[in-house]
Structure 1
Amino acid sequence: MFYTTYGLDNITPEELRMKFDSHDDFLLLDVRTPLENAAQALDGSYLIPVQELAHRVSELPKDREIVVYCKIGNRSAFACVYLARMGYRVKNLDGGIALWNRSQTISAARA
């Protein structure tokens, strides 16, 4: 992946599920549009569309890990690079909400 050059940390849907299950302290940041967020959002996520991120970055805590997601992982990767350069601890949800949805469906089918 292109962004790996910049030290981007990815987190898989399974790893994110474990963070939820273990009640880890992190912020889940949705960088999609308000319309996409209204259609579906991950529980507890905070919405800042990627095009507003530079103007709203002060809303984000520097003392917590931030897991960033979008639809498939491209906008969130861009946001992660930006936030990492600003000194934030960030991880990109690999495959975005699309892969999250598929992984949850597969997990439910296996149960």
Structure 2
Amino acid sequence: MREISPKEVETLLKNGEKLNIIDVREVDEVEAGKIPGAVNIPLGLVEFRKQDLDKSVEYVVVCRSGGRSGRACQFLENQGFNVINMTGGMLAWEGEVE
């Protein structure tokens, strides 16, 4: 599984990179703040929402600490998606939130 640090994600965003970020936390967790532009698909719904995703696009997957996003990445990789797990999750995120 490929991984990226929160600092690397923050730097890419600050440099104007267009990242496709999926936040797999629950809705109430995301309401407390998410990475700007991230799309919320709770882990339990990833299997049912995979048809909304594009296999030609790279996705950065985020959760609270990196565990749930790791499970989501494993599932999506097995389905043929190009995904990267953000290590440390939102607990390690120091950038802006919306």
Normalised by the size of structure 2, how large is the TM-score? 0.90
Q: For structure 1, which runs of at least 5 residues remain unmatched after alignment?
A: 1-7, 105-111
Consecutive aligned runs of 4 or more in structure 1 exceeding 4 Å deviation: none
Output aligned runs, 1:30-49, within 5 Å: 30-49=23-42
In structure 2, how many angstroms separate the alpha carbons of the residues matched to 1:54 and 1:29?
13
Paired residues, number? 95
Pair 1:77 & 2:66 matched: no
User: Which one has a bigger Cα radius of gyration?
Assistant: 1
**Contact residue 13 and residue 19 of structure 2 kept, 8 A:** no
Q: For structure 2, which runs of at least 5 residues remain unmatched after alignment?
A: none
**Contact residue 9 and residue 90 of structure 1 kept, 8 A:** yes
2:84 aligns to what SS in structure 1?
Answer: strand
| RMSD, aligned α-carbons | 1.1
**Contact residue 25 and residue 64 of structure 1 kept, 8 A:** no
In structure 1, how many angstroms separate the alpha carbons of the residues matched to 2:47 and 2:92?
26
Match of 1:64 among 37, 47, 57: 57
Summarize deviations over 1:42-94 as a string: whole Å, max 9, x none.
Answer: 10000100001101111112221100000000000000001111111111111
Normalised by the size of structure 1, how large is the TM-score? 0.80
